[in-house]
Amino acid sequence: MSKEKKESVIESSIKRKYKLQAKDVKVWYGDFMAIKGISMDIKPNKVTAFIGPSGCGKSTFLRLFNRMNDYVDGFKMDGEINIDDKNINDKDINVELLRKQVGMVFQKPNPFPKSIFENVAYGLKIQGLKDKKFLEERVVNSLKRVALWDEVKDDLNKNALALSGGQQQRLCIARTLAVEPSIILMDEPTSALDPISTAKIEELIYKLKDKYTIVIVTHNMQQASRISDNTAFFYLGELIEYDKTNKIFTNPEKQQTENYITGRFG
């Protein structure tokens, strides 16, 4: 291999070390500066947790990666957000395509008021995929992956709103998986659920790590320490500390981090 080729291969493999990247990102809502200049690299096939007190900007930061902030009045952004080294705010980026690559699960389960089948197939249908067999396969597959299949296989036409909260949230995850994203963003996915449903979903997240890069915003310190590989602590729009989860919870570098995770404030 020639020297240049070798270097570019090495470079690209180093580059690909980071799946998601933020470079000196600043965010404003009108005059209010919500994110004050954050840079961050997120590794592929890992679970990264965002923690911090309410209003510290972690949800805003999360939503930068699938550009859901675009719908908020007064939103303005500076800096780069890169996914697989491509700036997702470039003019030539198709934002709908981006959202098929980057899925999102919300805090309160929000299944569509349609049947279970329709819910999971929605993402595929809006891409124009119509083949019945294909849709069925994908739907069944996704439901199996979230361990919901056995519970709903008898009636996929049942209205999704008839499911319990934990089932609904798993359905939302299945819906996201059906379009085969490579990244899944989760905004406090279990905060509205009971402990058993929470445990089931945490188990699911842990299993999904193999195939997906997962970023999860959570208020629950134990959850962050249980399921994440890396943890980022946000405070008042700044990234205070970002390190391996084990380090953050046994011996954080910054006193602020320690104060937050030991419950001294926030």
Q: Residue 216, Cα to own-chain centre: how many angstroms?
A: 5
Does the footprint of other proteins cover residue 139 (CB under 8 A)? no
Q: Choose, by CB under 8 A, the member of 10, 15, 17, 97 that binds other proteins.
A: 97
Q: Are strands 238-244 and 230-235 parallel, antiparallel or unpaired?
A: antiparallel
Does the footprint of other proteins cover residue 99 (CB under 8 A)? yes
Binding window for other proteins (CB under 8 A); candidates: 25-33, 209-217, 219-227, 233-241? 219-227
Residue 9 or 126 with smaller CB distance to other proteins: 126
Does the footprint of other proteins cover residue 250 (CB under 8 A)? yes
Question: What is the identity of the amino acid at 96?
Answer: E
Residue 87 or 107 with smaller CB distance to other proteins: 107
CB 65 within 8 A of CB 83: yes
Does the footprint of other proteins cover residue 69 (CB under 8 A)? no
Instruction: For residue 17, give every residue at least 6 positions away whose Cβ sits within 8 Å of its Cβ, in sequence order, or none.
Output: 41, 43, 44
Does the footprint of other proteins cover residue 68 (CB under 8 A)? yes
Taking the complex as a whole, how short is the minimal distance between the CB of residue 247 and other proteins, in angstroms? 9
Residue 211 or 226 with smaller CB distance to other proteins: 226
Phi and psi torsions of 8, nearest 5°: -70, -35
Question: What is the identity of the amino acid at 109?
Answer: P
Tokens representing 199?
């445990």
Q: Choose, by CB under 8 A, the member of 28, 29, 112, 149 that binds other proteins.
A: 112
Residue 9 or 97 with smaller CB distance to other proteins: 97
Taking the complex as a whole, how short is the minimal distance between the CB of residue 261 and other proteins, in angstroms? 5
Instruction: For residue 207, give every residue at least 6 positions away whose Cβ sits within 8 Å of its Cβ, in sequence order, or none.
Output: none
User: What number of other Cβ atoms are within 10 A of residue 137's Cβ?
Assistant: 11
CB 222 within 8 A of CB 253: no
Binding window for other proteins (CB under 8 A); candidates: 20-28, 54-62, 204-212, 256-264? 256-264
Q: Which of 231, 221, 168, 184 is nearest to 45 (CA)?
A: 184
Residue 39 or 262 with smaller CB distance to other proteins: 262
Residue 37 or 192 with smaller CB distance to other proteins: 192
Q: For residues 75 and 32, what is the distance between their CA atoms, to the nearest angstrom?
A: 10
Q: Return the DSSP state at 122.
A: H
Residue ranges in contact with other proteins by CB under 8 A: 66, 68, 71, 73, 96-100, 103-104, 106, 108, 110-114, 122-123, 125-127, 159, 161, 172, 175-176, 179, 221-222, 225, 248-252, 255, 258, 261-264
